[in-house]
Chains A and B, each alone.
Chain A
Amino acid sequence: MSETAAQKKAFKIETSALRAYTMLGAMVLIWIFFYLQTSGIFLSPRNLSNLMLQTSVTGIIAVGMLMVIISGNIDLSVGSLLALAGGVTAIMMTNYGYGMLPAMLAAVAVSVSIGLIQGGLTAYLNIPAFIVTLGGLLAWRGAIKGISQSETIPVSDPVFKAIGQQYIDPRVGWILAAVAIGAVLFFAFRKVRSEKEYGFGEANLGKELLKSILPIAGIVLFIYVMNSYAGIPIPVLIFLAVAIAGVFVTGNTTFGRYIYAIGGNADAARLSGINNKAVVVKVFAILGALTGIAALIYTARVGSATPDAGTLLELDAIAACVIGGTSLMGGRGTVFGACLGALIMASLDNGMSLLNVRDFMQEIVKGSILVAAVGLDMVGKRS
C-alpha cells in the first residue's frame, strides 16, 4: 500500500513543480517572441521599466486577491473600490484642499473598512462572497459616481503624482539591492543554523549559498536593468514590497497557513481550532488595504481620478491569479504565481501595444492565453 502511495506522491510533486516552470517558460517564450518582433525594444531597459510599471497596479491587487481566492472566496468589487478610493483621495485634495497625507490615509481607511464589511457579511452572515462583492461592484461604482458627480477630478499635487510617476535614485536602488542580498544571505544562514539545531541531515552551508546565487543574481540584474534607464519606478518598488510581504505572510506565518487550511477544508480547519470567520474577514481587509494602495498609485499615475477607473480590474486580478496556478476552489496558489500571472498579462498588453496590434486582436489573444493556461494545468494533472 505505502508503495502505491509513494508512487502517487512522487508523481504529484513532479507535475506541480512542472506547472510552475511551465508558466515561467511560457513567459520567457512570450518575451523572446516580442523581443524578436520589436527588434529588441521589448527587452530594452526602458521598456522593461514601463512593463513593470504597467504590471504594478494589477499585481498589487492580485496579491490580495490571491489570499481571498485561497481562502475559498472571491472579490469582484476591487475595480469599483479602486475607483472609489482614488476618487476619495482626489476629491479631498482637489475639492476640499486637504493635504496629501490625510487624503491618502482616508482612501486606505475607506478601502479597509469596505473590506471589513464585505468580509464580515461573507463570514458572519454566510452570504456567498460572490454575491456580497457583486453587490459591491455595483454599489461602490455608484458611490464614486455620486460623490464625484461623475466628473473627472484632476490631481495636481506634484508630490502625490510622484508616487505614480517618479523613479528612485539609482544609488538608492543599489543600497536596496545590498539590503536585499543581505536578507537573502541572512535567511540562508538562519536556515542552516536551525536545521543544525533540530538535527536534519548535514548542515550544508555550501548548498544553501549555492541556492542563494539565483535570487542574488536576479536582484542585481533587476536593479541594473532598472538603473540603466532611470531607476526603479516608485509604483514598482511598492509592488515589490507588497509581493515580498505577500510571500512572507502566505508562506511563513500562522495566518498564512490558516488561509490555505480554510480553503483546503473549512471543516477540518474549524475543528483544528482555527477561527475561520476571523481569518476570512482579515483576508478581505488585506485585499481592501492593497486596493487602497493600488488606487493611490493608479490615481497618481494617471494624474486624475475618473469614476470609470479600474473597470474590469477585478477580472484582470483574478485572471493573474489563475494563470499563476491558483485554484478557484480555494486552498491552492502562490503569491509568486499570481505576480507571474500579472506580469504575463501586462507583457501581452505591452508587447502587442508596441507592435501596434489592433484592439480586437489584443482581446482575443489575452482571452485565449487565459484559457490555455488553465487548460495546460488540467492536461498536466490528468496525464
Chain B
Amino acid sequence: MKLKLFLFVIIAVFVSACVKAPTDQGDPNDPNRKIKIGFAMDTVKEERWQRDQEAFKKHCEEMKVECEITVADNKAAKQANDVDNLLTKGIDVLVIAPHDATQAVSMVDKAKAQGVPVISYDRLINSDKIDVYVSHQVPVIGRKIAEYALEKVPEGNYVMVYGASTDNNAVIMKKEQLKVLQPAVDSGKIKIVADQFITDWKTEEALNMAENALTQNKDDIQAFVVSNDGMAGGVVSALEKKGLAGKILVTGQDAQKDALQRIAEGKQTMTVYKPIIPLANAAVEAAIKLAKKEPLANAEKFTNDAISKDIMAILLEVQVVDINNLMSTVIKDGYVSYDDVYVNVPEDKRPPKP
C-alpha cells in the first residue's frame, strides 16, 4: 500500500514537472497589462495548421501581445473544454478555428456572455454573434478550383471528391464548385460520374474512392476535382497505380509540401495557395483592435445561408498554383524552398534555381 502511494506521488510529481505551470493571470484592470489573445485551434495535424500556429504566435510576439493557443485534436468536446479554460485564464479576445461550425456556437455564446469578443478563424461558425470572420475567400477557393478544372478540361467525366461533410468549408466549396460546373453539366459537356464527401478528409478513403470510381467508369475519367491536398495525394496514388498520374487533372487546396512536389513532378495539376501568414496577421491585428474596442476598418459585410444576419468579415485573396507558377508564388514567398519542391525532379528538368 505504501509502495503504491509512493509510486503515485513520484508519477504525479513527474507529470506536473513535465507540464508547464500556468502563468499568472494578472489583474484585468491594470492598464499596462498586455492584451491576451486566446486561440482555440481544432488541429495541428495537417502541416497548414502548424503554419497558422507558428505565424499566429510570431505575430503576437511582434505586436507585443500575449497569446495562449490550445489544440482540440479534431474533437468538438475537447474544443469546448479548451474554450472554457481559456476564458478562465482571463483572455481579452477569443479566436476560434472551429472543429464543428454548429457546436462552436455555444462556445461563442459563452465568451460573449463574459464580454469577450470572438473571431471566427478560417472556418465559419454558424453564429451571428461573432465579431468578425477572418478567412480566405472560401467560396472563391471552390470557384477557382472549378474554373481551373473547367478551363483545362472543358469536356469529359468528372469525379468530385469533397471534404468532410461535418466541415462547413467543405459544404461551401461543394456549392461553389457546382455553381461553376452546372452550366457545363446541363449542356452535357461534362458529366459528374461520382461524388462523395470523405470522412475527416482522410487520404486512404479518397484513395479507395478514386480506385472505385476508376473501376466503375473503366478509367474513362478526365478530371478529379479534389477539395484538398491530402486527399489529392490519395487520388494520385490511385492514378499512379494505373499509370494514369499526370494524364488526368487533379486539383487540390492548401499548397502542402507534398502536393507542391507532386505538381513539380506533374502528377497533381494544381493547388490553391492560401498565404497563411497574412491570414494569421490579420486575425491577430483584428483581435488587438477588438480588445481595444477600436473599429475594424478593413472588414466588410458577409452573407452566409447558415447565419440569419449579415456579419463582418475580413476575407483574404487566394492564389492558384500550378506547374507554371510554382517559382513565382510559393517559392518566391519563402513558403517552401526550391530544393524541397523539386526534390523528386531530375536536375536537368528543373527550372533554373533562383
Given A161-B240, A165-B240, A354-B216, A359:B196 Cβ within 8 A: yes
Cβ B203 vs Cβ A47 within 8 A: no
CB distance from A327 to the nearest CB of B (A): 29
Closest to A48 in B: B215
Given A150-B44, A303-B237, A356-B194, A350:B212 Cβ within 8 A: yes
* CB neighbours of A353 from chain B (8 A): 196, 208-209, 212-213
* CB neighbours of A349 from chain B (8 A): 208
Cβ A306 vs Cβ B230 within 8 A: yes
A301 within 8 A of B: yes
Q: Which of B17-25, B147-155, B254-262 contacts A (4 or more CB under 8 A)?
A: B254-262
A-B contact count (CB 8 A): 101
Closest to A359 in B: B197
Q: Among B204, B215, B257, B344, point to the contact of A156 (Cβ < 8 A).
A: B344
CB distance from A43 to the nearest CB of B (A): 11
Q: Which 4 A-B pairs have the closest CB atoms?
A: A154-B258, A165-B241, A353-B212, A303-B237
| Chain B interface main SS type | helix
Cβ A360 vs Cβ B344 within 8 A: no
Q: Could you give 15 example pairs across A and B, Cβ below 8 Å?
A: A41-B215, A145-B44, A151-B50, A151-B257, A152-B258, A161-B240, A301-B204, A302-B204, A311-B200, A349-B208, A353-B196, A353-B209, A353-B212, A358-B196, A359-B198
Interchain CA distance A152-B231 in the complex, whole Å:
12
Interface centre among B44, B212, B240 (most CB of A within 10 A): B212
Q: Mark A326-341, 1 if CB is under 8 A from B, else 0.
A: 0000000000000000
Interchain CA distance A154-B236 in the complex, whole Å:
12
Q: Mark B215-245, 1 if CB is under 8 A from A, else 0.
A: 1100000000000001001101100110000
Q: Mark A345-369, 1 if CB is under 8 A from B, else 0.
A: 0000110011010111001000000
* CB neighbours of A47 from chain B (8 A): 212, 215
Q: Mark B241-271, 1 if CB is under 8 A from A, else 0.
A: 1000000000000001110011000000000
Interchain CA distance A232-B50 in the complex, whole Å:
40
Cβ B165 vs Cβ A359 within 8 A: yes
Interchain CA distance A307-B46 in the complex, whole Å:
8
B68 within 8 A of A: no
Cβ B207 vs Cβ A302 within 8 A: yes
* CB neighbours of B233 from chain A (8 A): 152, 154, 302-304
Taking Cβ atoms with an 8 Å cutoff, the residues of A that contact B are 38, 41, 44, 46-47, 50, 53-54, 145, 149-154, 156, 161, 164-166, 298, 301-304, 306-309, 311, 349-350, 353-354, 356, 358-360, 363
CB distance from B313 to the nearest CB of A (A): 28
Closest to A351 in B: B212
B106 within 8 A of A: no
Cβ B45 vs Cβ A145 within 8 A: yes
Given A304-B258, A350-B208, A359:B44 Cβ within 8 A: no
Q: Mark B38-50, 1 if CB is under 8 A from A, else 0.
A: 0000001111011
* CB neighbours of B215 from chain A (8 A): 41, 44, 46-47, 50, 354
* CB neighbours of B46 from chain A (8 A): 150, 152
Cβ A356 vs Cβ B195 within 8 A: yes
* CB neighbours of B44 from chain A (8 A): 145, 150
Given A302-B207, A304-B233, A353-B212, A152:B344 Cβ within 8 A: no
B202 within 8 A of A: yes
* CB neighbours of A166 from chain B (8 A): 241
B81 within 8 A of A: no
* CB neighbours of A152 from chain B (8 A): 46-47, 230, 233, 256-258
* CB neighbours of A306 from chain B (8 A): 45, 203, 230
* CB neighbours of B304 from chain A (8 A): none
* CB neighbours of B74 from chain A (8 A): 308
Interchain CA distance A301-B211 in the complex, whole Å:
12
Interchain CA distance A353-B343 in the complex, whole Å:
35
